[in-house]
Amino acid sequence: MALFVDGSACTIDDMTDQDAGLLAVALNTGINVTTKIRLAQEEIATDLLLWLNKPKAAMLLPWTPSLHADQIVVTPELKRWETMHALALVYRDAYFSELVDRYQAKWQEFNQCSADAREGFIALGLPLVNDPVHQAMPPILGTIAGPQSGGTFYAAVSWVNAAGQSGAASVASSLAVSDGNLMTVSAMAPPANAVGFNVYAGSTLAGLLLQNTVALAVGTTFSYVPGAGVGSELAGEGQKPEFRRPMARLLLRG
């Protein structure tokens, strides 16, 4: 799963899954839904940071070292909290913009859903990893001469840490390759803890398959040969939680 600091956990599609009329409301009231998603993440981040920054003496728990925001992993519970909170922000603004009762009812409904999702997240504990691997930037693509047919190809990359854990795959880059050439893939701006990277490539965005059996060395360039993938593994969402810290009685209420 992606790290919380990698970007918004929810998407507009996640929000419309919960409320089919969302986009029509946003259009009628001039609300930028993407902005509300960003604000929801920022407000949740503030909530989580209040817990992480609690003095250790007040926590009465003997763990070390200190925990950091980039160790938090997005889980389904955290994604639901962010989705419901973003919906509540949309309908709050819609109500104050138009003073329509149905918008107020939706605001109250999603505000309660957000509170319920938050409580469910807290009950499970804060999901964390020991050595967080940040999402990679989109790769730089190029070409070299090679005995292959051309086409339009896509590639994404993910960084790998010393424990062999892969971060979330990057947004894919694309390139039109002429006949008699191969696409090359270069991963850029490695994080300090990266010992290598993975390449996922294919001729469709939905079919980016892992291309390497072992992590590629940082700074190297990979040459993609269509049809030569190493298996059926698709571009991944990143690390899974390695441990959880209890949050009850520690997280300040909003």
Tell me if 153 sits within 8 A of 225, measured CB to CB. Answer: no
Q: Return the number of other C-beta atoms located less than 10 Å from residue 253's C-beta.
A: 8
**What gap in Å lies between CA 132 and CA 160, rounded to an integer?**
10
Backbone angles phi, psi at 14, to 5 degrees: -60, -40
Alpha carbon distance 59, 243 (integer Å): 18
- The predicted pLDDT at position 32 comes to 97
At residue 65, the pLDDT reads: 61
CATH number of 140-224: 2.60.40
HSE toward the beta carbon, residue 185, CA cutoff 13 A: 30
pLDDT value of position 101: 84
Token pair in block for residue 120:
């469910």
In this predicted structure, what is the pLDDT of residue 229?
Answer: 67
Q: Pick from 117, 129, 39: which is nearest to 77 by CA?
A: 117
Nearest to 198 by CA among 149, 226, 231, 151: 231
DSSP assignment, residue 128?
E
Nearest to 179 by CA among 152, 161, 157, 205: 152
Q: What is the chain's percent helix, strand, coil content, to nearest 5?
A: 35, 20, 40
Q: Is 83 exposed, middle or buried (0-12, 13-18, 19+ CB in 10 A)?
A: buried
pLDDT, position 168? 95
Can you give the residue ranges of every domain in the chain? 4-131, 140-224
- Summarize pLDDT for 141-167 with one digit per residue, the tens: 999 999 888 999 999 999 999 999 999
* Residue for token pair 């899974």: 240
Which regions in the chain score pLDDT beneath 50? 57-60, 63-64, 250-254
